[in-house]
Structure 1
C-alpha cells in the first residue's frame, strides 16, 4: 500500500521550518493545525496542553470558538484520559461508546453526535506528557490510510512545536522575576488563569507581568464583575512573594466599628470584647501581599492611618503604644473613579497618589470581542461537570446573542447566566445533548446599546414623575426619562457624578457612558 503521506512531505517540512521561524507561539500553533487540516483532510483538530490533570486547548481548527475557553479534566473525559495514559497513537473505533469531548462542537457538523473517526496523539518531551494533538473526521475510515509510524512523525513534530513554546514562555517568566541578588529564586506556576485572547487581555497580562516583578503598589480599576480580584491574585502569584500569604480584605464589607482592628489588629483589653491580642491584616500579610478590594469605601480616618503604613511601613495595634514594622505589598482595587472622589473630598489626594503608582485598567467584557465565547466555554465546561452532563454546548444563534449583549455585569453576569441557562436547558433536554439557546438566557431581545440594568435602575427611581414623555416610541421615551432623572439627580448633588451614581445605584463608569449615549454630556 502506498504510504499516504509521501506526497505531503512538504507539509511536514513546513512544520519543521516553523520551529526555527521567529513567530509568536499562537501563530506557530495555528499554522500547525492548518497543516494538519490539509494533511489529513480532517473536519477538526486541536492542540492541547496538559497541566494538572487537565487538557487545555491552545489552538483549534474546525471547532466551536468556545472550545478555546474550556479546560478538560481527564477524570471526566475518558477519551482524553486514554490519550494521556497511552504514551502512543490512540485510534478510537467509529463505534466507540466513549463520549467524545468535541461531540456537537465541530462547526461543520454542529449537533451531530458520535460516529466519526478520532485519533489522539500524546505529545511527549523528555518522557513527560506535555500535551496532545487530536484529529477528527466524520468519515469513519478517514484516517485508515495513515500508518502509526506516520502519525508518530506528526506527533514528534507537534511535540517539538509545543515544547519550544512552553520553554520560551518559561524563560520569559524567569527573566521577568529573577533578580541578581537571588538568581536561584523559583516561583511556583500560577494556578489562576486569566482567560482571553483579545488585545485588551494580552495588554493586561503584559502589565501584570511588569508590575509583578516589582514591589510597587498597584491600583486595579474597572467595572464591577470584570475580574479585579483575579488580576490581584495573578500579580501576587507571579511576584517574588508568591510563597508568602495573599491576604484579602473587602473594604466595603467592613463595619466602621471594627475596620481599624481588622486592618491593624488590637491588644487584649483595648476595647470591650478584646479578650486577646489579635493581628490585623497587615501583620498577616507581612512579607506577602495585602489585597484591599473596594478601597474607595474606606473612611477618611482609616485612609489617613493606611497612608502612614504605606509611607513608613510601621503600624500600631489598637491599645498598643509600640510600633510594628511590616513589609507588606499593597494591591488595591475599586470600581469608583477615585479622581472624582478626591475632588468631592471623599478620598485623600495623597493616598490616591500613593496607591496609583501603577494603575491597571481592566476592560469591560463588552470590549473584549470573542473572549465572551472563550469565557462561556470555560463556564460551560465547569457547569457541565457540576450538573453531570455528557454534553453542553452553545447553538450558533446563542453565540451571536452572547456576542451582541453588552454584559453590564461583565464576567460575573456571564457566569451566572451560563449556570442558569444550563439548568433550564437540562430540564428541557430530551436526550444527552444539551444545547443552550437564546431563550435560555432571556437576553435575545435586548437592544445592543442598552443595558437592561441601566434602564431598570432608572425606572425604579421614585424621585421623578413621568410627565410629558411621548409614548409612541419606547426608546425615545426611555432616553428622555433617563435624561430628566439624571439631570435632576445631578442638580441635587451639585453636578457631582460620583454622588449622582450612588444615588441612582449605578456604577459611575456606566453612568458616564449612559449620559454620553443619551446626549447628556460630550
Structure 2
C-alpha cells in the first residue's frame, strides 16, 4: 500500500482548513492515522529545545499537556537533529517517549514500528510528526519519498498556522498602540489550557498587554494570577525592563513604606544606608503588587499619590523622585465589598482597576484539567528523575470529577504527592499514579474511585450534577464499549453519536 494523490490532497486540506483551530490539528492526526494505518500519532511544535504536543491520536489524553525536553528523550532528539525522516528499528534500544502512554499497551513498547517526520520551515525545525504501529513491518509499504511529501505538507501548513497566530496577536495589539511591541524571549510564560474560558483570558491579555493601562487581576486562590501578570509584562513594551514583585500580604506595616518607596540613611533606627524601594527598581518597567487587598489603609493613600502624579518620596527625604511604572495588582478578595466595608480606598480601587481581568477557577475550565495533569506529571517525572510516570484512566476521571477549591496550585501539589507515593510503592522503573495515591478520595465521587465491576451502578447522592453526569457517561460508555468488543465505531453507532464527538468525550472524561 502507498500514499495516493487523493490521500495527500485530503491531508493538505485537513490541516489548511482553519489553521489556528486546535480541532484542525486533531483532524490532521486522525487523517494521518487512517491513511498510514498507524496506532498512535502526534503533531508536535518545537520551541525552546523541547517538543510541545499540538494534537495527539491514540495516546493517553494527558500527553497533550506534557512537554518533552530533547535532552531527556533520545528518539525525539534524533528526529530533531536528523533533517530528514527517521525510521527507528523495530527493536531499537532508544526509549520511546510514549512508553506507558498508549492505552492498553502496558508499560513498554518493546518491539514496534516508529517513524519521525521533522517539520522544517526555511531550514529551521518548527515541529515533528511521530507515528507508531504495533506491527514491526507496519510502515514498510510507504516509501521515504511519500513520507517526505507528507512531512513537507504538514511543515508548510504548520508554519502558516504559526505565522497567522503571530499576525493575529500583532493585529490585536496594534489596535491599542502604534509602537512596536517588544517580546521578551527569555523564559517565556506558557499558559496551559484550551478551554473557552482560557481562550477568552488569553485574548484579554493580548488586548491589554501592549498598553500602559493599570491591570487588576481578580480570581480565587491558586488560579495562576502571578502567571497572568508575568504574561502581561512579557507581551508589553516594557518586556526588556524589570518586572518587580511585592507580596502585600507578607509586608509588615512597620517596613511597608520603605519597601515600596525606599529610604535614606538615618531615616529610622537601622537605616544604615540609602535604599531603593520597589517603585524605583521598577522604573520604566512593571510593578506587580500581589494580594493588594491586604495593603494597610495608611499606605494606600501614599500609593495613590504615586499613581496620580508619578512621583514619590523616600522615607526620611524631602525630595521628590519621578518614576514611570506600570502597576499590575492582584487579589482574591472582592475589592468592591472591601471598599463598602471601609477597608480599601475607593479612589485607589478605581486607579488600579482600569482594566480588570478575571482568572477563571479550574472547575470552569472544561477539559483543561487533563492537560494540566499531563504537564505537572511530566514535571514531576523530571524532578524525581523517573524513567516513566503516567496516570491511569481512573485517576484522570477522578481528577476531572473533583471541584478543586485550591485550583491549579492544589492540582500541582496533589499530583506531586501522588507521584512520590507511586515511586515509594512501585517495584519497577515504570510508575503509575492510581486513585489510591490521592488524598481527596473521600470528597470525590466514589463511583469514579472504584471502577464498576459490571453494568451501571447507582450513583451516590452526594455528587454535584457535573460529577454525576461525568460518572454516568464514563460507566455507560465503558459498558457499551465492552458489549461491542472494544470497537469504538460500533460503540458510536450504538450510542447514536458522531464518532469524532465520542472520541473527544471519551478523552475529556478520561476513559480514552
TM-score for the superposition, normalised by structure 1 = 0.82
5+ residue gaps, structure 1, are: 450-472, 476-522
Hey, what does 1:496 align to over in structure 2? none
Cα-to-partner distance string for 1:472-500 (whole Å, 9 max, x where unaligned):
x997xxxxxxxxxxxxxxxxxxxxxxxxx
Hey, what does 2:412 align to over in structure 1? 415
Query: Is 1:96 matched up with 2:92?
Result: yes
Question: 1:125-274 to 2 correspondence within 5 Å?
Answer: 125-177=121-173, 185-189=181-185, 191-274=188-271
> Structure 1 stretch 108-117 or stretch 309-318: which is displaced more?
108-117
Q: Choose from 44, 52, 56 the match for 1:56.
A: 52
Cα-to-partner distance string for 1:217-266 (whole Å, 9 max, x where unaligned):
11111111110000000000000100000000000000111000000111
> Structure 1 stretch 85-94 or stretch 239-248: which is displaced more?
85-94
Question: 1:478-489 to 2 correspondence within 5 Å?
Answer: none
**1:213, CA displacement in angstroms?**
1.5
Query: Is 1:325 matched up with 2:313?
Result: no
Query: Is 1:291 matched up with 2:288?
Result: yes
Cα-to-partner distance string for 1:283-331 (whole Å, 9 max, x where unaligned):
1101100000000000100111111111111111111111111110000
**1:216, CA displacement in angstroms?**
0.7
Hey, what does 1:348 align to over in structure 2? 345
2:41 match: secondary structure: strand
Hey, what does 1:367 align to over in structure 2? 364
Hey, what does 1:484 align to over in structure 2? none
Query: In the aligned structure 2, how far is the partner of 1:181 from the partner of 1:221?
Result: 25
Q: Choose from 26, 30, 41 the match for 1:34.
A: 30
**1:104, CA displacement in angstroms?**
1.3
- Say if 1:177 and 1:239, in contact at 8 Å, map to a contact too: no
**1:423, CA displacement in angstroms?**
1.0
Query: In the aligned structure 2, how far is the partner of 1:291 from the partner of 1:142?
Result: 55
- Say if 1:393 and 1:434, in contact at 8 Å, map to a contact too: yes
- Say if 1:406 and 1:448, in contact at 8 Å, map to a contact too: no
Q: Choose from 385, 390, 396 the match for 2:387.
A: 390
Hey, what does 2:335 align to over in structure 1? 338
5+ residue gaps, structure 2, are: 447-459, 463-512
- Say if 2:390 and 2:433, in contact at 8 Å, map to a contact too: yes
Query: In the aligned structure 2, how far is the partner of 1:23 from the partner of 1:131?
Result: 15
**1:109, CA displacement in angstroms?**
3.2
1:24 match: secondary structure: coil
Number of residue pairs matched?
Answer: 449
Q: Choose from 73, 77, 82 the match for 2:78.
A: 82
Query: In the aligned structure 1, how far is the partner of 2:413 from the partner of 2:290?
Result: 21
1:445 match: secondary structure: helix
- Say if 1:426 and 1:434, in contact at 8 Å, map to a contact too: yes
Q: Choose from 4, 28, 50 the match for 2:2.
A: 4
- Say if 1:19 and 1:160, in contact at 8 Å, map to a contact too: no
Cα-to-partner distance string for 1:199-227 (whole Å, 9 max, x where unaligned):
11101101111110211111111111110
Query: In the aligned structure 2, how far is the partner of 1:198 from the partner of 1:184?
Result: 30
Query: In the aligned structure 2, how far is the partner of 1:372 from the partner of 1:180?
Result: 33
Query: In the aligned structure 1, how far is the partner of 2:216 from the partner of 2:88?
Result: 51
**1:108, CA displacement in angstroms?**
5.1
State the Cα RMSD in Å: 2.1
Cα-to-partner distance string for 1:316-358 (whole Å, 9 max, x where unaligned):
1111111111110000000111111111111111111111111
2:380 match: secondary structure: helix
**1:158, CA displacement in angstroms?**
0.8
> Structure 1 stretch 12-21 or stretch 113-122: which is displaced more?
12-21
